[in-house]
Amino acid sequence: MIIAVDGPAASGKGTLTRKLAEHFNLARLDTGMIYRAVGLKALEIGDPADENVAVEAARSLAFDDLDQAGLRDEAAGKAASQVAAIPAVRDILLKFQRNFATNPPNNKNGPVNGAVLDGRDIGTVVCPDAPYKLFISASSEVRAERRYKELQERGEEAIRSAILRDIIDRDERDRSRTVAPLEPATDAEIIDTSDMDADAVFAAALNFISSQS
C-alpha cells in the first residue's frame, strides 16, 4: 500500500500522514526531513554548498538519520536549501524516497503494510503510480495562522505578517520551479483543509481511499 500526500507548507499533511500511518500500519516519510538530514550530515563533513560534500552526505543517508536531533533547527534548514540546489543530490534522494515507498522499514511493532509519503512531488514524480494520491491545501492565511500557533507553542517568537509573507513566497517558488513544481497529480483527490479540523480531514482521506480500493 502506497499513499502519496502532497501539498504546500502548513496545509495539514503532517498530521494527516501520521494518522494514516497509524490507521493502516504504514511506514511514514516526511520527505522534507531527508534534505535536512543530508544538510546536517554535510555540515559534519564540510561545506553543504560543495557538491562533493553534499553528494557524499546524500549517499550515506540512512533511515535512522531521520530521527536525529536538530532537524528542525535553523542550521539544518539553511543547509537543506544548499544541498537541495544540487541536481546530483536530488537524484540520489529521489531513489531514496522510491526505495522507502517500495521497501518500507519496519516500525517498532514489526513489519508494516506499506508506506505513506508526505511531500511536494510524491504523486507526480516520486511515486506517480501510487494507487492513492491526495493533495492537501488551505488558504495562505489559514496556513500562516497555523504556523504562527505552532511556533508559539514551541516558545519561539513569531510575527504573523512575516509568516504569511514567507508562505506566499515559498508557494510561488514551489509552483514556478522548473523541476518537480508543486501541483496536484491529475488523479489526486484534492482536499481543502481551510475550514476543516484534523479529524474531518482524516475522514475525507479515508473516504477517498476506501472508494479506490
Identity (one letter) of the amino acid at 194?
A: S
Q: What are the tens digits of pLDDT across the range 81-120?
A: 889 888 899 999 999 999 999 999 988 889 999 999 999 8
Helical (H) or strand (E) element with 118: strand 115-119
Q: What 3-state class would DSSP assign to 195?
A: coil
The model carries a pTM of 0.88
Q: What are the tens digits of pLDDT across the range 119-175?
A: 989 999 999 999 999 999 999 999 999 989 988 888 888 889 998 998 898 888 788
CA angle 89, 31, 163 (to 5 degrees): 105
Give the residue-averaged pLDDT of 54-61: 96
Q: Report domain extents, the chain.
A: 1-26+112-213, 31-103
pLDDT of residue 32: 86
* Residue 168 burial (10 A CB sphere; 0-12, 13-18, 19+): middle
Superfamily of chain region 1-26+112-213: P-loop containing nucleotide triphosphate hydrolases (3.40.50.300)
